[in-house]
Amino acid sequence: MTTVYDFTVKERSGAQKSLKDYEGKVLLIVNTATGCGFTPHYDPLEAMYKEFRDQGFEILDFPCNQFANQAPGSEDEIHEFCTLKFGTEFPQFAKIDVNGENADPLFAWLATEKPFAGFGKGLKYAALKKFSDMNNKTFGDKAYIKWNFTKFLIDREGNIVERFEPTADMDDVKEAVRKQLG
């Protein structure tokens, strides 16, 4: 059975990093962007990281520019923005594609294992779905991730526990993390 530990990702430096290095930790894997309406999610993410990292929690940040070009900078520019504006300290990796033929294998696996189940209800959610559908139609059946700040919660054994769309309440994300930490 495949787990998150079977994957290797690219660090900002270009070096390869085995996710096996995070074995035994609770992970929140997130695709991010610096110019998105959900970019303020960095604040509660960093607060969660500070609160839980000593309990074996890591956030793995993967910038992606596939959603309305909302992460156009270089890895260094994105990192500088996140550290200066939001004080982020959690690991940030190289910019990747999460959809299409060049989708990072980690995100293709995450999204295949925990497929998109909707953004929720109401006008805000309906508007995001419409915009997402237009943006992702070029990816066809490889539109794995629907928008920036999709989050995947991984348990200490490397299994996917839950998928949170960007519209999910961050308090719900925090409570799910807390539950996994025991």
| Each residue's pLDDT tens digit, 83-100 | 999 999 999 999 999 999
Give the integer Cα–Cα distance in Å for 58 and 54.
9
DSSP 8-class letter at 138: G
Other Cβ atoms less than 10 A from the Cβ of 67: the count is 25
Catalytic residue among 19, 29, 36, 64: 36
Are 158 and 2 in contact by the 8 Å Cβ rule? The answer is no
- Model pLDDT, residue 43: 97
49 pLDDT exceeds 90?
yes
What are the tokens at 38? 């959900």
Residues 6 or more apart whose CB falls under 8 angstroms from that of 105 comprise: 7
Average pLDDT over residues 63-81: 93
Check if 36 is active-site.
yes
CATH of the domain at 118: 3.40.30.10
Where in the sequence is the domain holding 8, given as residue range(s)?
4-181
Q: What is the pTM of this model?
A: 0.95
More confident position, 22 or 1: 22
pLDDT tens figures, 104-133: 999 999 999 999 999 988 888 888 898 899
What pLDDT is recorded for position 86?
A: 94
Q: How many domains does the chain have?
A: 1
Give the Cα-Cα-Cα angle 176, 20, 91 (nearest 5 degrees): 65
